[in-house]
């Protein structure tokens, strides 16, 4: 009788699933493992060292004594002055194309950034961008100038692939910034003095015109000093009137005592002569003709007043010019270097360990987000 074998017992389902090969986790490799390996290879073996030269400076304005009160004085005390605005101007200049062009006249800035460093860090490493605009945008990323609004100190940082080159670029930028401040001072001096000199020239021209007009009036009318001349004229009329009174008194006495006295005719002739002279002199003083002193007085006073005002204006203009020159002799702004450009003996960039760890963390975060999204999609399908 044949031996009957027992029926095979089926394996549990869990054991069958354990024997199945786990699927390849391509998402983990793409998001975490490969980026971390790439970052480690690049920052650990390929990335070139970069050196940062640092300096600091402050823009000061010449102290001015004033009598500001209230809110104006409060604003001045907290540093709301023109020097801070000029600091922004110097910062913008250092980052400008103009400053880069000035640097290229002295040192080969583009060659330093184009011929040194690894292919990913240097300018135009793959030969795709060779324009001046592309280099300028690259250069701006290697330069930073930050202002501390509390202290007013600006920190200038320059990074390159050589400590000496970073130091040279930083030092030259400070020189160019100081040149800009000097140009601002020179322009302010020239504008201030030129304006004052122009005001003096205008005042001198007015004085000459007023003096010429007054002289022509005196020559045309025979007047040296109208005030003195009118005083002399009044004194003469007064003297003639006194003499006339004396003659009339004497004539009355003679007539009353001796009516037939032969002196009466002579005294009458003298009386008529004095009356005519007094009338003539009075006509010269107050007559309706244009030759009278009264008619000349208005024009003379106007010309004399114009001359006096022109002389006063010239005096004020000369005083303003002297003040402008004294102010121009003082430097309104100056760039004071707080710390000279450093020459680093150790590369500060790139931060290799930080970049590798940051790559891993960011990749892991992306992996987690995508994994949750994929799980959500599978759940909706089931």
pLDDT tens-digit readout, 256-289: 777 777 777 777 777 777 777 776 766 656 555 5
E-strand stretches of 45-142: 51-61
Q: What is the pLDDT of residues 245-263, one digit of tens each?
A: 877 787 777 777 777 777 7
Cα angle: 135, vertex 139, 143; to 5 degrees: 175
Q: For residue 163, which of 377, 344, 322, 292 has the smallest C-alpha distance?
A: 344
Q: What's the rounded mean pLDDT across residues 160-189?
A: 91
Residue 163 has pLDDT above 90, yes or no: yes
Q: What is the pLDDT of residue 281?
A: 65
69 and 182 share a domain? yes
Tell whether 337 is covered by a domain.
yes
Q: Is the four-CA dihedral 160, 164, 166, 169 of positive or negative sign?
A: negative
Tell whether 17 is covered by a domain.
no
236 and 318 share a domain? yes
Q: What is the CA radius of gyration of the chain?
A: 51
Q: How many CA atoms lie within 13 A of 219 on its CB side?
A: 6
User: Any alpha helices (H) in 262-351, and if so which ranges?
Assistant: 263-286, 293-328
Query: What is the C-alpha to C-alpha distance for residues 302 and 208, in angstroms, rounded to an integer?
Result: 16
Question: Phi and psi dihedrals of 81, rounded to 5?
Answer: -130, 175
Tell whether 231 is covered by a domain.
yes
257 and 161 share a domain? no
168 and 204 share a domain? no
190 and 336 share a domain? yes
Tell whether 8 is covered by a domain.
no
Q: What is the pLDDT of residues 334-350, one digit of tens each?
A: 888 999 999 988 888 88
More confident call, 380 vs 300: 380
Q: How far is residue 265 from each of residues 11, 230, 243, 268, measured CA to CA in Å?
A: 180, 34, 17, 5
120 and 169 share a domain? yes
Token output for 71:
């809110």
128 and 83 share a domain? yes
Sheet holding 143-147, edge to edge: 143-147, 153-160, 51-61, 333-339
79 Rama class: left (phi>0) / alpha (psi -120 to 50) / beta: left
Query: What is the C-alpha to C-alpha distance for residues 133 and 122, in angstroms, rounded to an integer?
Result: 15
Q: What's the rounded mean pLDDT across residues 73-101?
A: 72
Supply the mean pLDDT for the chain. 78
Residue 75 has pLDDT above 60, yes or no: no
Give the CATH number, domain containing residue 55.
Answer: 3.30.1890
Q: How far is residue 68 from each of residues 62, 65, 75, 333, measured CA to CA in Å?
A: 16, 9, 10, 21
Token output for 206:
């007015």
Number of structural domains, the chain?
2
123 and 84 share a domain? yes
- For 88, the domain range is 49-194+332-370
283 and 310 share a domain? yes
Q: What is the pLDDT of residue 227?
A: 61
DSSP-based three-state secondary structure for 334: strand
E-strand stretches of 65-123: none
Q: Are 184 and 86 in contact (CB under 8 A)?
A: yes
141 and 202 share a domain? no
56 and 187 share a domain? yes
Q: What's the rounded mean pLDDT across residues 109-125?
A: 89
DSSP-based three-state secondary structure for 2: coil
86 and 162 share a domain? yes
């Amino acid at each position: 009788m044949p031996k009957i074998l027992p029926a095979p017992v089926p394996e549990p389902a869990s054991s069958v699933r354990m024997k199945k090969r786990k699927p390849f986790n391509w998402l983990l490799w793409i998001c975490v493992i490969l980026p971390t390996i790439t970052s480690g290879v690049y920052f650990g073996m390929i990335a070139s060292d970069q050196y940062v030269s640092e300096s600091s400076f402050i823009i000061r304005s010449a102290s001015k004594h004033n009598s500001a009160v209230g809110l104006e004085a409060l604003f001045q005390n907290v540093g709301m002055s023109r020097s801070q605005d000029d600091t922004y101007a110097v910062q913008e200049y250092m980052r400008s194309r103009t400053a880069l062009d000035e640097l290229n006249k002295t040192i080969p800035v583009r060659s330093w950034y184009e011929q040194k460093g690894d292919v990913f860090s240097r300018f135009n490493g793959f030969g795709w961008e060779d324009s001046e605009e592309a280099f300028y945008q690259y250069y701006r990323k290697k330069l930073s100038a930050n202002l501390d609004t509390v202290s007013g100190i600006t920190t200038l940082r320059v990074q390159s692939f050589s400590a000496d080159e970073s130091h040279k670029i930083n030092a030259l930028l400070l020189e160019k910034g100081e040149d800009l401040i000097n140009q601002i001072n020179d322009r302010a001096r020239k504008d201030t003095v030129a304006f004052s000199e122009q005001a003096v020239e205008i005042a001198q021209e007015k004085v000459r015109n007023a003096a010429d007009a007054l002289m022509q009036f005196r020559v045309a009318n025979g007047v040296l000093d109208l005030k003195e001349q009118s005083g002399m004229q009044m004194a003469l009329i007064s003297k003639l009137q006194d003499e006339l009174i004396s003659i009339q008194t004497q004539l009355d006495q003679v007539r009353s005592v001796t009516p037939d006295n032969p002196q009466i005719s002579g005294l009458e002739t003298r009386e008529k002569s004095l009356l005519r002279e007094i009338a003539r002199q009075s006509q010269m003083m107050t007559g309706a003709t244009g030759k009278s002193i009264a008619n000349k007085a208005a024009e003379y006073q106007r010309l004399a007043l114009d001359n006096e005002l022109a002389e006063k204006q010239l005096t004020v203009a000369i005083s303003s010019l002297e003040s402008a020159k004294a102010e121009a002799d003082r430097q309104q702004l100056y760039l004071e270097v707080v710390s000279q450009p450093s020459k680093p003996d150790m590369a500060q960039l790139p931060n290799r360990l930080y970049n590798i760890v940051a790559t891993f963390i960011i990749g892991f975060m992306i992996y987690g987000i995508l994994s949750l999204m994929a799980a959500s999609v599978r759940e909706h399908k089931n």
